[in-house]
């Protein structure tokens, strides 16, 4: 086996790492245009070519996107999200459901242990948005609200890596919900199970919290895999 000496980061890599940090910590939020090249050159004290190469690296990673004649915009808060999204686009629906189940069951368990009063307020607010959307027959609104409800549960787990992973599969989660959104009985069951989940988290009952999430996703799996023949189609088919 041949071992190689470690090499120091190049200047481009150092600049790219700084820009990535600005995106990850929210200094440059998703959807915002980043400063123009001349401004970055002046601020960082490096050449324009170095700035361009660093930006190109982040574009390749899926964190930035250039709009012709308009500048460069942040399109993802993490390089993980675009990579996982591309992978999930090639995955089976059943595989995505299993990954979501694993993340959410652990998230629910941790949320029951670590939730704060502020977390409970946000979770209840998201749940109430689900109920309003369901009552109004607003399917798109329900899909958004249901995702936000489960996202708030993940946030209440207070594990930043878990939150990043869940954010990274967010589009696939929304797609999975949308597949079954036409089934009124499924939406009603989801509302019932989400109510159980809130009660369990408030009571700090780890077991009941994980069970409520498991029942929610098992119900989804039963309906969705029947609808998508055999469950063997990928999301983009």
C-alpha distances out from residue 222 to 73, 112, 227, 230, Å? 40, 26, 9, 11
Task: Write out the DSSP string of 160-210.
Answer: HHHHHHHHHTHHHHHHHHHHTTT-HHHHHHHHHHHHHHHHHHHTT-HHHHH
Provide the residue count of the chain. Answer: 237
CATH 1.20.120.530 placement within the chain: 81-231
Tens digits of residue pLDDT in 208-222: 999 999 988 887 777
Q: Cα-flanking dihedrals φ and ψ of residue 127, to 5°?
A: -65, -40
pTM for the structure as a whole: 0.65
Query: Per residue in 165-189, pLDDT tens?
Result: 887 777 666 666 665 555 555 667 7
- Residues in Cβ contact with 68 at an 8 Å cutoff, skipping those fewer than 6 apart: none
Condensed to tens digits (0 to 9), the pLDDT of residues 74-109 reads 987 776 666 666 666 666 767 777 888 899 999 999
Quick one: fold of 11-74? Arc Repressor Mutant, subunit A (1.10.10)
The correct answer on CATH 1.20.120.530 for the domain covering 81-231 is yes
**Which tokens belong to 48?**
């324009």
CB 77 within 8 A of CB 32: no
For residues 69 and 168, which has the higher predicted lDDT (pLDDT)?
69
Where in the sequence of the chain do the CATH 1.10.10.10 domains occur?
11-74
């Amino acid at each position: 086996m041949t071992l190689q000496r470690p090499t120091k980061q190049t200047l481009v890599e150092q600049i790219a790492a700084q820009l990535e940090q600005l995106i990850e910590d929210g200094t440059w939020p998703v959807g915002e245009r980043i400063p123009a090249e001349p401004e970055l050159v002046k601020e960082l004290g490096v050449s324009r070519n170095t700035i361009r190469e660093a930006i190109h690296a982040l574009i390749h990673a899926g964190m930035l996107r250039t709009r012709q004649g308009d500048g460069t915009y942040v399109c993802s808060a993490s390089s993980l999200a675009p990579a996982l999204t591309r992978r999930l686009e090639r995955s089976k629906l059943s595989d995505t459901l299993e990954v979501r189940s694993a993340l959410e069951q652990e998230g629910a368990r941790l949320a029951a242990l670590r939730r704060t009063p502020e977390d409970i307020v946000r979770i209840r607010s998201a749940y109430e948005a689900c109920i309003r959307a369901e009552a109004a027959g607003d399917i798109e609104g329900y899909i958004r609200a249901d995702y936000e409800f489960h996202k708030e549960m993940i946030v209440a787990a207070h594990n930043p890596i878990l939150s990043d992973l869940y954010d990274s599969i967010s589009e696939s989660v929304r797609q999975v919900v949308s597949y079954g959104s036409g089934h009124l009985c499924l939406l009603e069951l989801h509302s019932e199970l989400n109510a159980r989940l809130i009660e369990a988290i408030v009571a700090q009952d780890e077991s009941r919290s994980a069970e409520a999430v498991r029942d929610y996703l098992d119900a989804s799996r039963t309906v969705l895999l029947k609808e998508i023949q055999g469950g063997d189609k990928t999301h983009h088919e």
